[in-house]
């Protein structure tokens, strides 16, 4: 990340921050992940924005800052939607959108939003069901689901697993 920062090239800098934030979440260090993901860049790098806001939301959810997590997940959905206007089969934007919508379901406790999240996963999986791609979203989905005390995301997780009959 330091090397990327020193070059002044925004793409590797933002991608390195995204990868580091994801690794810190996987290591159970949400505060560090949040610090890394929340850094804003000038100019912004829109391609990675949905993933960064998603990672920010996941870290905030892990830290039990629910209101802030809702804002981050909402920002992730907005950023993903902006990319999907340009390319409607952008896999990373579709995944970030589905995960962020799932995060919103859990953070708000609103089961009505679960339908939107399930549809977003169906759309993302329709573009590709490649094993590596699905594996990339399984872990953040599990993180979100660990906060789903009411079991609202059961259908969403079934769609990700490919076991839902509803499409």
Domain boundaries, the chain: 2-161
Q: Which of 2, 3, 64 is nearest to 30 (CA)?
A: 64
Model confidence pLDDT, tens digit, residues 43-63: 677 889 999 999 999 999 999
State pLDDT tens for residues 135-152.
778 888 888 988 988 888
pLDDT tens across 102-127, in order? 999 999 988 888 889 888 888 888 88
**Residue 8 is encoded by which pair of tokens?**
């002044």
**Exposed, middle or buried: residue 105 (CB in 10 Å: 0-12, 13-18, 19+)?**
buried
User: Which CATH number fits the domain 2-161, given the four candidates 1.10.3470, 2.60.40, 3.30.1490, 1.25.40?
Assistant: 1.25.40
Q: Give the model's pLDDT for residue 7.
A: 78
Q: Identify the CA nearest to 124 among candidates 150, 100, 103, 145.
A: 100
Predicted local confidence at residue 161, as pLDDT:
65
Rounded to two decimals, what is the model's pTM?
0.87
């Amino acid at each position: 990340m330091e090397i990327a920062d020193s070059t002044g090239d925004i793409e590797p800098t933002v991608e390195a921050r995204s990868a580091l934030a994801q690794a810190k979440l996987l290591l159970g260090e949400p505060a560090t992940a949040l610090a890394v993901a929340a850094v804003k860049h000038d100019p912004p790098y829109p391609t990675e924005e949905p993933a960064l806001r998603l990672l920010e939301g996941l870290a905030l959810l892990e830290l039990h800052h629910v209101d802030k997590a809702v804002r981050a997940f909402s920002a992730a959905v907005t950023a993903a939607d902006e990319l999907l206007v340009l390319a409607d089969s952008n896999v990373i934007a579709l995944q970030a959108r589905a995960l962020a919508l799932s995060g919103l379901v859990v953070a708000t406790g609103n089961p009505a939003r679960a339908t939107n999240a399930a549809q977003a996963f169906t759309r993302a999986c329709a573009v590709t069901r490649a094993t590596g791609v699905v594996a990339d979203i399984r872990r953040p989905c599990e993180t979100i689901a660990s906060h789903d005390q009411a079991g609202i995301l059961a259908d969403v997780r079934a769609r990700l697993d490919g076991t839902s009959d509803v499409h």
